[in-house]
Chain A
Amino acid sequence: MRDVILRLPMQGAELAKTPTGIRGLDEITRGGLPKGRPTLICGGPGSGKTLLAVTFLVNGAVQFGEPGVLLTFEENGDEIANDVASLGFDLPELIKAQKLAVDYVRVERSEIEETGEYDLEGLFVRLNYAIQSTGAKRVVLDTIESLFAGLSNGGILRAELRRLFRWLKDQGVTAVVTGERGDGLLTRQGLEEYVSDAVILLDHRVHDQVSTRRLRVVKYRGSYHGTNEYPFLINSEGISVLPVSSLALQHQAPMDRVSTGVSRLDEMLSGKGYFRGSTILISGTAGTGKTSLAAHFVDAACRRGERCLCFLFEESPQQLLRNMRSIGIDLEPWVAAGLLQFHADRPSRYGLETHLVTMHNVVAAFKPSVTVLDPVTNLMTVGTYSDVQAMLTRMIDYLKTENITALLTSLTPGKTDLERTETTISSLMDTWILLANNEVGGRHRRGLYVLKSRGMAHSNDVREFALTDRGLELLDAAGAAGDASAGRDTPIERTRLS
């Protein structure tokens, strides 16, 4: 993914950046936050501002050798440490190692009487002391707007905030300032007015009882950045942001081919099978053999020693292994050999974004050559068609960038609604194979048809096939028993076109 971004056009020298170490965010911002400048992170309560800011600090200290200072106004050091312990961060340890300093600034209005002129030099002194004692390169102020609740002289506060941000720049530290989302403003006190370099907006929405988090770079002065809303996820592995569509259509188009696992189907695809790194859709009504065809492909890939990852949205891995064994495909050895991994999840378990980010993370960790989504249509239950399309676009884009061959199965509900699902995603597909059951002359016949396969001369025949105990077998094109309709011109095509 990083490669893709580097291939985007560059104009002149870009600003120096400070990497956040947050997956995805550094891609969207093309390298991180503006170095030596303050960035504003705003969002409503519970949108993840503090976690994002603390992650920036911890990654700096742990991964980039940049100590940090956390000036917290709302929670004390222990509370913050507890909050982020679930992300695997050990703040006390970092503090002990002098890679991090935490100063809790408590402003209690009831304790304070204001009389005459003052400034916030005390705050500057504390911040400076913390920066000096750790050699900090990164500073987080969370949430400085609390000052407005504790002190009544707004005029002084505003002047001092302006001075503070100027001062932070002079110190050369990369600062993150968090702010609570306000009415009609990005932040309650209009902090965006003072922090003009970069603004990131976080959003947390609950729709149909499914919560999704989104992140948007509202502003990034002097730098290209992705402008979309990007889903992000907070889990035990920390924060990950998912860039949409990797920003550009710049995948490689490899010429090498991979077997479908069914030699006669390879023949139909100009003799060699699918393109490596392409996306294949297998659609059909229930029980037409979609998963079986996918299993052949997985089996063939594992035989070549390639790694395969299967996302199951309907069956458990055990069910799938059992069912495939019944048609003579034994995938168990590949699981044992570590070449094949299953990841089964109920679609309704969480929102599309979470599925997307989870899949992204699993793929990034396992680094497969082949990924199967079975069946992708089950995701339709948790989102609208356009949501699912957007999500699959991102997923497929990511897989293509990584040169992973993706096989998706799609359950067609019935003949009347035949193309509804498919049209949503078909344009993303390089190869589309249609499976159907047809009753002809009192016999149930299975037919397979290559609807499209970009970049190759593929067969236009509708071929009959059988599911045997040796797997999926395509029958002779001419028809096994002199039955012309067995191989060609079965009613499948007519059904589709009507």
Chain B
Amino acid sequence: MKKSNGAGSYQLRLYVAGQTPRSIAAFTNLKKICDNHLKGRYELEIIDLLTKPQLARGDQILAVPTLVRRLPEPVKKIIGDLSNTERVLIGLDLRPAR
């Protein structure tokens, strides 16, 4: 599934493996963060590795869930259920690291 919110400068991909509670939590957490901080300037693609295993290699996916910020460069990866908003924002460079 592909969800586009206009021509955003942020290109995000969320890799999950099946509809597990953890992947649903990651998606919910991510949605909230994007709506609050990136509204109107991001593109989010969700990839389920159980149906598209061949895609794991390209983005060097190891852990799931993994959020990949493909743009802007450099590529960033945030792994886990994204429950710690502060760390996700740091990972996305939306907030300077302390």
Contact = CB atoms under 8 A, between A and B. Distances in A.
Interface of A: 103, 105-107, 111-126, 128-129, 147, 150-151
Contact of B82 (A103, A107, A116, A124): A116
B83 A125 contact: no
Nearest to A132: B53
A131 to B, nearest CB: 11
A112 B54 contact: no
B34 to A, nearest CB: 15
Interface stretch (B2-10, B37-45, B58-66): B58-66
Given A107-B62, A122-B61, A122-B62, A113 B90 contact: yes
A116 B62 contact: no
B71 interface: no
A117 B17 CA distance: 14
A114 B17 CA distance: 17
B27 interface: no
A129 B56 contact: yes
B85 to A, nearest CB: 8
Interface of B: 15, 17, 22, 25-26, 49-50, 53-54, 56-57, 60-66, 74-84, 87-88, 90-91
Contact of A115 (B49, B64, B88): B88
B60 A106 contact: yes
Contacts of A151: 62-63, 79
Nearest to B86: A115
A116 B81 contact: yes
A119 B56 CA distance: 14
A275 B41 CA distance: 90
A-B pairs, 7 with minimum CB distance: A113-B91, A116-B80, A116-B81, A116-B83, A129-B53, A122-B61, A121-B17
B63 A120 contact: yes
Given A116-B83, A129-B53, A122 B91 contact: no
B81 A118 contact: yes
A125 B50 contact: yes
